Amino acid sequence: MYQALTCLAFEHDYTLVGLAALICVTGALTTVRCLQLALETERSRQNFWIVASAVAGGGSVWCTHFIAMLAYDPGVVLGYAVWPTLMSLLVAICTFSIGLAIFVRNMRAGSVIGGSIVGAGIVALHYLGMSGVVIPGQIVWNVTTIALSVVYSIIFSVLALTLVRHHTGNRGQILASLALVVGVVLLHFTGMGAITIVPDPTMALEPGIPGYVLAFAAAAMCLFVLAIAVMCIMFDRRLAFEEKQNRQRIEHMAYHDALTGLPNRAFLLQHIEEKVQRAKQGESEVAILAIDIDRFKQVNDIFGHQAGDDLLKNLTLKMSSILSPNEILARLGGDEFIIVQTDTKQPEAAERLAKRLLDVVSVDAVIQNVRLRTAISIGIALYPRDGEHADVLHSNADAALYRAKQSGRNCYRLFEPEMDLAQRARRTLQIEIEDAFRRDEFELHYQAQAETATGVITGFEALLRWKHPVRGLILPGEFIQSAEENGFIVELGQFVLERACTEAASWDKPLSIAVNLSPVQFQHGDLVATVRNVLAKSKLDPARLELEVTESVLINDMDHAIEILHAIKALGVGIAMDDFGTGYSSLAYLQAFPFDRIKIDRSFVEHLHDNKQSEAIVRAIVGLGQGLSVPITAEGVETEQQQAFLAELQCTEIQGYLIGKPTPIELLAGHVRKFPASEAADEDKRRSA
């Protein structure tokens, strides 16, 4: 009689036991890693990793079992029956496949159901294998011990899968493999303890597969499991490479601009701060050059966004081509660029760079077969002279850029402290304007327009006034530009239109009403809809409304502006060209759109009698209007002499202090009502009676 358990300590070949342990551990690690990959990969690739895991798991447990059997040979094993031995391998791989597939696909009870099936598979492998051992004797089974071995196998398999589910990476792999190994070892030795062999030398036995053949088969299976392990390792390395690149790409995207590939705002602020810190320790100085492409919006609007993008790339290449290693170009968005330059000799180095940039950019760009003249404006701030920190330096470079743009663009300006003050004042003013609007401090004054020959009033121009509680009446020259810069003019302009139309609609006399429009109202918001709604709400006859635009409306984006002007004209509203003669290409604009009125700028009228040129210009403009059959209004008429001259020329209308200053509407009742206020009340009473 051989009591298996008691023989363990004495009758094992420890080299083979060690080998079995090595296979068991390697197999478990491979099984778990394949399983992790099955969980991590997309659904279409899951089956591959489930099968790989099942083969590694079933195969390695099978090898472990038989090598352990070879290690334990008390000298009575004659061989291994073919079918039970082969079936034990097949059953193991199949049950592993089913159990692992359930585990991978079923998130809820997958660990328990899948783990139980895997555990049962290991049990089946063990006892099927044992049943194939050819011994000259009877095997007596101890059912209780067998039951215990089944429980061990299932519990540790479920535990292993639970660990795979809840722990990722190396930690999950090691813990789960450990559970699997413990399960297999406990099952094996408990299972061995469950048998007692009663020798029977008289039994007629078929010898089966000899032990050394089985050893070869086990070795082959081991190699197969090892191959799967190597595949996992290679895949992992590729995965780690795939991940590293992703990380690098994400990092690159976080710090670079997708269009030009240049560093972006996030990178830049960090970079400036770093350079400043280094400059603090060393001798060098840092220059921040804020760069803006002149009239970029025009290119975008006229030629489309693709052309705009191409231009940005073109200028990026040009600017990059002249930079040294100590100069970094970044794009902040839109047409805003920044260069950070570290040099010992400032501002000379920055000025030199600015001049070279202006030069290189001035070479025409060919975008979509169109030759474009390009230019930039540059503002420069220097560390430590103009600021200690990235944000201050950036903001000061911006202030200098603003000055460069105001100085006619295509130039550079160095920051000066008064620019900062001007910038702050501008921002403060913008906030004040919005607050004042909410407090209802804006109102309209109306300036009469009259027939030149007779002086009969034909209409009024609405002019915006800010009734400041402390500073008194503020004229538009002081606040319109600020409101345009932050876009608030859109809201303010709508207010003017509503007020003026509602007011004019209430007049007894059907006089015309003129309202000024800002170019910004053409770029933002829906101007046509605004005009249409205001007309509908105020019930003003559209023919009485005249909207005044200056050339700047057309300069920014001619096609778009003309489209809007046509749509407004289609509503029955008149369009006047304001301040005529002061722009760059007034005549071209007259050709581009059929204006309903031309208003000669005040600057020509003002000098009618002391400047021959002014006289000739006014004469020419009036002639032009007559030729085009467009009425002409002369602005800024202050004297009877001017009026007489214009009357002689047959200029249609005049506007100016001579006829009347811009005035609150209450003081103009006599002009817009049929009766003065008191009489109007009487008239109302009479009518109602």
Our CA angle for 202, 204, 209, nearest 5°, is 125
Task: Single out the segment in contact with Mg ion by CB under 5 A; choices: 95-103, 129-137, 491-499, 542-550.
Answer: 542-550
Partner whose footprint covers residue 656, from ligand C2E, Mg ion, none (CB < 5 to 8 Å by kind): ligand C2E
Tell me which stretch binds ligand C2E (CB under 6 A): 145-153, 322-330, 452-460, 634-642: 634-642
The DSSP 8-state label assigned to residue 363 in this structure reads S
Q: Would you say 188 or 599 has its CB closer to ligand C2E?
A: 599
Count of residues that interact with ligand C2E, criterion CB under 6 A: 23
* Least gap, CB of 476 to ligand C2E (angstroms): 4
Least CB distance to ligand C2E at residue 274 (A) = 45
Omega prior to 347 cis, within 30 of 0: yes
Strand 412-414 to 376-383 pairing = parallel
CA 410 vs. chain centroid, Å, equals: 30
Site for ligand C2E in 459-488 (CB under 6 A): 463-464, 475-477, 480
**Residue 473 backbone class (left: φ over 0; alpha: ψ -120 to 50; beta: rest):** beta
By CB under 6 A, tell whether 85 contacts ligand C2E.
no
Which residues have CB under 8 Å from 210's CB, separation 6+?
A: 79
Stretch of 75-83, 112-120, 216-224, 514-522 contacting ligand C2E, by CB under 6 A: 514-522
First to last CA, the chain: 135
Residue 624: CB minimum distance to ligand C2E, A: 19
597-600 vs 574-580, strand pairing mode: parallel
Q: Of 62, 48, 76, 92, which is closest to residue 133 (Cα–Cα)?
A: 76
Scanning 34-42, 75-83, 427-435, 513-521 for contacts with ligand C2E by CB under 6 A, the matching segment is 513-521
Hey, which residues between 500 and 539 contact Mg ion (CB under 5 A)?
A: 516
Neighbours of 648 (CB within 10 A): 12
Nearer to ligand C2E, 258 or 473 (CB): 473
Work out the number of other CB atoms within 10 angstroms of the CB of residue 328. Answer: 19
- Chain residues 49-78 in contact with Mg ion, contact rule CB under 5 A: none
Among the listed residues 542, 532, 592, 586, the one whose alpha carbon sits nearest the alpha carbon of residue 562? 592
* DSSP one-letter string for 73-110: --S---EE-HHHHHHHHHHHHHHHHHHHHHHHH-TTTH
CB of 549 to Mg ion, least distance (A): 9
Q: Candidates 343, 386, 503, 578: give the one binding Mg ion (CB under 5 A).
A: 578
Task: Enumerate the β-bridge partners of residue 513.
Answer: 460, 545
Q: Which does 328 bind (CB under 5 to 8 A by kind): ligand C2E, Mg ion, none?
A: none
Mark 535-564 with x for binding to ligand C2E (rule: CB under 6 A) and - for no binding: -------------x----------------
Residues 262-321 that bind Mg ion (CB under 5 A): none
Distance (Å, whole) CA 643 – CA 658: 9
Q: Which stretch binds Mg ion (CB under 5 A): 110-118, 435-443, 505-513, 547-555?
A: 547-555
Distance from C-alpha of 342 to C-alpha of 72, rounded to nearest angstrom: 78
Two tokens, residue 234: 């290679």
Site string for ligand C2E, 583-602 (x = CB under 6 A): -------------------x
User: Which range in 189-197, 276-284, 546-554, 609-617 contacts Mg ion by CB under 5 A?
Assistant: 546-554
Contacting residues toward ligand C2E, per CB under 6 A:
447, 463-464, 475-477, 480, 493, 496, 516-518, 548, 578-579, 602, 635-636, 638, 655-657, 662
